[in-house]
Structure 1
Amino acid sequence: MAQFTFEGDFEILADPQIKLVESALQKKGFTNGKIVVEPVGQKGDNYIAHVKRFIYEAEDGTTFNMIGKVAPVAEQLRLMMNTMVLFNNEIVMYNLVLPKLNDIQNSAGVTDDEKVRFPACYGVVTEEPYEFILIEDLKEAGFEMLDKMKPLTNESVRLIVKDLAKYHSLSYVLKNSEPEIYESYSNKLSNLWAIVGAEPEAQQFFESGENDLFKMMHDVSDQYKNVVRGSLTQITPIAKKIQSYEKGSKYSVIQQGDCWNNNILFRLEEGKPVDDVMIDYQLSSEGNPAADLLYLIFNCTDHATRLEHYQEWIDYYNETLDHSLNLHGLKANHIFPKDQLDADLKRYGKQMVNLGVLLSSMLERESKDALDMRVMTGDKEKLWENTMAQMNASLLDISTIVKIRQRIMGIIDTALEFGLI
């Protein structure tokens, strides 16, 4: 019988989660040894899950690492955070969608250098409130997270754009070759932005955040103020309209959904990125590829880099999509033509600017100022009050406020420059 001992930061783990870790190790051929559990990242790196590194140490010195994403268990917090929705999305992606897309690549004989890489998944727990996802520790393969406070370079963005195009192409291949399976998977995924503002407290949070941002922009020109006004409060209504339009659209794919710095790991050579892996799929749902592209561009880069390379990125996406589809006997001109991509970028522009404005207030905060919803307690009303209090701009130092303002103005400048709003 396998004998494992746990040490370190494992107090929040429930029996189903511990059993999955042990089972995953047994499947790897390990039967005895120590499992050291360490927290991964710092406040502000992950807003939804507790992320842990499981370091297995065998008696003979053999080691093996895994990463676990642990759902919070407090009922009111789970309701407020839509934990069930987010973990269901990611479980569907890691358990069903990504393995299927990987099978499509393997069946077509796609070479390793042409493949989009997905983290290996060692198992999931679907039982509420103990949702748990156990995946490959990509640090072992040399991948690392870059500084989220620094905009990505053109070289880094091109790597991600290439992977997004490959990823979207696989979704199109699945939709064309096995439409029933594609529909089954997409129906299991939920668009968070279409449901997040349904409760009055959530709408109040958006209104409060929008007012805060508007105060930050008090001395800027009207072109910026006009975009910020209504930006947060319109996220859910616009998302519902988009969701209705995209459902069943021939151009829809299963989106990555949350392509920003902390959800992308890079492998570096001599300090330069040469490979990347997308790691977080909690916001995945059916939608348009343009949304993934703009989400990446607005939330991971600065205006100066966008001004120089935006069109190059769009063209590169289209070229890679066509090349990837060709590997499966399809053509971009028939599946997702360039003129459709250009039209959809404009159609999604307003919503992606809105999300960029919302996320600006979160992504520019130092760790000490970051919202940590995972440790909040109390009833739902108290949770919302605490969230709004923590996010209040009056608590920020002037340098952080300046960075938030500059990020928002840069997003708006980009959108205006390229006719996206």
Structure 2
Amino acid sequence: MAQFTFEGDFEILADPQIKLVESALHKQGFTSGKIVVEPVGQKGDNYIAHVKRFIYEAEDGTSFKMIGKVAPVAVQLRLMMKTKILFNNEIVMYTLVLPKLNDIQNSVGAADDEKVRFPACYGVVTEEPYEFILLEDLKEAGFEMLDRMKPLTNESVRLVVKDLAKYHSLSYAFKNSEPEIYENYSNKLLNMWAIMSAEPESQQFFESLENQLLKMMYDVSDKYKNVVRGSLTQIAPISKKIESYEKGSKYSVIQQGDCWNNNILFRLEDGKPVDDVMIDYQLARESNPASDLLYLIFNCTDHATKLKHYQEWIDYYHENLDYFLNLHGLKASRVFPKDQLDADLRRYGKMMVNLGLMLSSILVRESKDVVDLKEMTGDKEKMAGDTTAQMDAKSLDVSTIVKLREKIIGIIDTALEFGLI
């Protein structure tokens, strides 16, 4: 086996994870050298995994970089964060679903600009509690994460909407051509929201967070308070209702599931986005395309941009879905008609608004205000209490509260404007 030395931030790595890094480098043709391990990002960039960059440096100057997602090992932390479920989902996606979708788009001879780009996966560790996913470092190909505190522009959203149309078309093609394998793979993906929402601890957290949001909205119109009131506490029953609709639905796809700023990398030219790639599939599951679209729109854009471009984005999505389905001999009019998309946007509107309100209290926080769940220790009850306490509005500065209020009002205004609630 290769002889490598590790330097830097590698203390949390266990033997199975170190062996995978060495094995991946060996498969690339490297037999010895130094591996420098660096942390990636800052608090608020990734809530579930420890993310590391592995920089291989050979004596002759050759280098090779990979990104590793490392699961936390503390028992109570894993239980609270649903680490096993989330890493299972992403491992299923990177080892089964995405390779299958990539094979499908290659089999029809799609041009490069007609393909979804998936990060190369160099291997995984499935052994608990050492789950580990080793991926291509997309920074080497010119992709970068934009500032998560800034809403996406119309140009950026159009790129992602088109990518979602490509991605969903591949899922429909997979479902159409190999239904039994599709069902087998989709059944391996677990619905995180439904699981979490059914737990008493989660319900208590939702209730507490909802009360915090209402306190921040004390001086706004009742139309906003009425939407916030009961929003988070209804996530559980709405999740169950939607899950029953999705089960066996011919319109369902294997969705990306968590399409927000930090899970979309862009390649820029002259400061403008020209290409994108979606990462992080921990919330992937079988669901409706409308769910991915609304998740993107509510969590990544401001109200002014939504108000101006919402219908344009929906039309653009469906036009591209039809185009890419045609590459596989399918038609959107049969697979997922426009009137069905419109109906499902309304069907999923309430759930996506509720999730948007919940996530807004997390996504608007500066790094210094982020609750870093990965670093928590102690028993499950104490960690839940600590999380709730740190989510309290009293822990936020005035500027963050202003941004949070604006985001909440924007989400509600958009939903009301377009009949989504």
TM-score normalized with structure 2 length: 0.99
Alpha-carbon separation, structure 2, partners of 1:107 and 1:313: 29
Amino acid at match of 2:66: M
| Partner of residue 56, structure 1 | 56
How many residues were matched structurally? Answer: 421
What is the aligned partner in structure 2 of residue 44 from structure 1? 44
Q: What amino acid is the match of 1:407?
A: K
1:160-192 deviation digits (Å, cap 9, x = unpaired):
000000000000000000000110011000111
Residue 217 (structure 2) pairs with residue 217 (structure 1): yes
Task: Report how far residue 59 of structure 1 moved.
Answer: 1.1
Deviations 1:246-300, CA, capped at 9 Å, x for gaps: 0110000001000000000000000000000001100000000000000000000
2:337 corresponds in structure 1 to 337
Q: CA deviation at 1:81?
A: 0.5
Hey, what does 2:175 align to over in structure 1?
Answer: 175
Residue equivalent to 1:304? 304
Question: For 1:266 and 1:215, how far apart are their aligned partners in 2?
Answer: 37
Using the alignment, how far apart are the partners of 1:199 and 1:235 within structure 2? 11
Structure 1 counterpart of 2:264: 264
CA distance, structure 2, for counterparts of residue 202 and residue 175 of structure 1: 33
Between the aligned partners of 1:91 and 1:2, the Cα distance in structure 2 is: 25
Q: How does 1:235-384 map to 2 (within 5 A)?
A: 235-384=235-384
- How far 1:245 sits from its partner (Å)? 1.1
2:406 alignment partner in structure 1: 406
* Greater displacement, 280-289 / 232-241: 232-241
- Measure how far apart 1:233 and its partner are: 1.2
Letter in 2 for 1:369: D
Taking the aligned partners of 2:293 and 2:158, their CA distance within structure 1 comes to 11
Question: In structure 2, what is the equivalent of residue 6 of structure 1?
Answer: 6
What is the match of residue 190 of structure 1?
A: 190
Report the Cα distance in structure 1 between the residues aligned to 2:393 and 2:23, rounded to whole angstroms: 46
Amino acid at match of 2:235: I
What SS class does the counterpart of residue 223 from structure 1 fall into? helix
Q: Which amino acid aligns with 1:357?
A: L
**What does the per-residue CA deviation read over 1:179-208, in whole Å, with 9 as the maximum and x for residues that have no partner?**
001100110001111011233222111111
Q: Which residue matches 1:65? A: 65
TM-score by length of 1: 0.99
1:13-24 equivalences in 2 (<5 Å): 13-24=13-24
Q: Using the TM superposition, give the Cα deviation of residue 241 of structure 1 relative to its aligned residue in structure 2, in angstroms.
A: 1.3
- Give the secondary-structure state (helix, strand or coil) at the position aligned to 1:357: helix
Secondary structure of 1:230's partner? coil
Q: What is the CA–CA distance in structure 2 between the aligned matches of 1:249 and 1:184, rounded to whole Å?
A: 15
Aligned to 2:78: 78
Which residues of structure 1 form unaligned runs of 5+?
none
Structure-2 separation of matches of 1:197 and 1:172: 28
Mapping for residues 379-398 of structure 1, pairs under 5 Å: 379-398=379-398
SS at match of 2:167: helix
Residue 127 of structure 1 pairs with residue 114 of structure 2: no
SS class of match (1:341): helix
What SS does the corresponding residue of 2:197 show, helix, strand or coil?
coil
Gaps of 5+ in 2: none
Distance 1:11 1:178 in 2: 43
Give the whole-Å Cα distance in 2 for the aligned partners of 1:90 and 1:132.
10
Q: Distance in 2 between matches of 1:231 and 1:11?
A: 42
Residue 2 of structure 1 deviates from its aligned partner by 1.3
In structure 1, the partner of 2:139 is: 139
Separation in 2, partners of 1:96, 1:237: 31
Paired letter, 1:388: T
Residues 363-413 of structure 1, C-alpha deviation per residue, up to 9 Å, x if partnerless?
Answer: 111000001000100011011011111111111111111110000000000
What is the letter of the counterpart of residue 26 of structure 1? H
1:232, distance to aligned residue in structure 2 (A): 1.0
3-state SS, counterpart of residue 257 of structure 1: coil
Task: State the partner residue of 2:102.
Answer: 102
In the alignment, residue 289 of structure 1 is paired with which amino acid? Answer: P
SS in 2 for 1:196: helix
Task: Tell me the secondary structure at the aligned position of residue 114 of structure 2.
Answer: coil
Helix, strand or coil at the partner of 1:414: helix
Counterpart CA distance in 2 for 1:21 and 1:34 is 12
CA distance in structure 2 between the partners assigned to 1:279 and 1:411 by the alignment:
24
SS of equivalent residue, structure 2 residue 232: coil
Distance 1:201 1:349 in 2: 25
Q: What's the offset of the Cα at 1:358?
A: 0.4
> Counterpart of 1:390 in structure 2: which amino acid?
Q
The whole-number CA distance in structure 2 between the counterparts of 1:29 and 1:395 is: 50
**Paired residues for 1:25-44 under 5 Å:** 25-44=25-44
1:53, 1:194 → 2: CA distance?
Answer: 32
- CA distance in structure 2 between the aligned counterparts of 1:139 and 1:251, rounded to whole angstroms: 35
The one-character-per-residue Cα deviations of 1:19-53 (angstroms, maximum 9, x if unpaired) are: 00000000000001000000000001111000000
CA distance in 1, matches of 2:237, 2:189: 19
Q: Matched residue of 2:406: which SS?
A: helix
- 1:230 CA displacement: 1.0
